[in-house]
Amino acid sequence: MIEEFIKYTDSYKKYGEMIDLKINHTFRVKDLCLEIAKSIGLTKEGEHLAELCGLLHDIGRFEQWKRYKSYKDLDTIDHGNLGVEVLRNNNFINKFSSDNYDTILKAVKYHNKYKVPNTLSDKNKLFVNITRDADKLDILYLVSKKTLGIKTEDSKMSKKVYNDLLNGKLIKKSDIKTKADQIAVRIGFIFDINYSVSYKIMKEKGYIDKIIDNQIEETNNEELKEQLLRLKEMSRKHIEVMIK
Ligand SMILES: [Fe+2]
């Protein structure tokens, strides 16, 4: 299955190094999916399916970059939906695995949505949730090491976004008003994680602390610094609670 994926993505490499960014992200997400699957005791078959969902979750990214030269869904296209289209058009899943067709499509489609519909079957929901956790963990990794840098400049978080976070709510994209709000979205990931092992990884790697510390270092806005320190406290407590 990896060979098929590499063959497919190789044909997009001519569109530049932004393609590599997503290929590398994909392989890390695939490994994280496996780690999560193991932690919850899935069978070998389940582990394999989790890896497949990770491998294919961002398959729409390559076509998105080719068409729009952008990864911004809001300005271009929803890359989860595009991924489903790509898989259907290329008859990809039959090449990868003829079983579990629907589960893989759902994992691709819903990995990036604000909410997962509760109409999904238990099996589909399981693999959607694994993929979502793995994807978020790798995004936090990238932001923490500044690969996906967010420059807050001197902005602070908008009141609604900041208060939503303190109250444990996920940030809606439509509420994002300032650059600092984009940091809030990443911190808000801690309220949308499904498995204890994901919280453990988050804590061990110190992703949230790193993201917050980097921002505190970079900003001159005292109010933002204070907001960030309070959010650091809050997120540490939340992660501790969720690990237990
Ligand atoms: Fe994605």
Domain ranges of the chain: 1-149, 151-244
Q: Where do the H-state alpha helices sit in 57-178?
A: 60-68, 79-90, 92-96, 101-110, 122-144, 159-166
**How many beta carbons lie within 10 A of that of residue 148, not counting itself?**
17
Residues whose CB is under 5 A from ligand 1 (ion)? 58, 112
Distance 114 CA to ligand 1 centre (A): 12
> 């500044």: which residue's tokens?
146
Residuewise pLDDT in 10s, the chain (244 residues): 788 899 999 999 999 999 999 999 999 999 999 999 999 999 999 999 999 999 999 999 999 999 999 999 989 999 999 999 999 888 776 666 667 889 999 999 999 998 999 999 999 999 999 999 999 999 999 999 876 556 666 678 999 999 999 998 888 888 888 888 988 989 999 999 999 999 999 999 999 999 999 988 888 888 899 999 999 999 999 999 999 8
Nearest to 39 by CA among 201, 219, 157: 201
Distance 140 CA to ligand 1 centre (A): 13
CATH topology assigned to domain 1-149: Hypothetical protein af1432 (1.10.3210)
Distance 26 CA to ligand 1 centre (A): 9
CA 22 to chain centre: 12
Check residue 15 and report its DSSP letter. Answer: G
Distance 108 CA to ligand 1 centre (A): 8
Q: SS3 string of 28-91?
A: HHHHHHHHHHHHCCCCHHHHHHHHHHHHHCCCHHHHHHHHHCCCCCCCCCCHHHHHHHHHHHHC
Distance 13 CA to ligand 1 centre (A): 18
Distance 225 CA to ligand 1 centre (A): 30
Confidence (pLDDT) at 74:
87
Distance 190 CA to ligand 1 centre (A): 17
Distance 239 CA to ligand 1 centre (A): 23
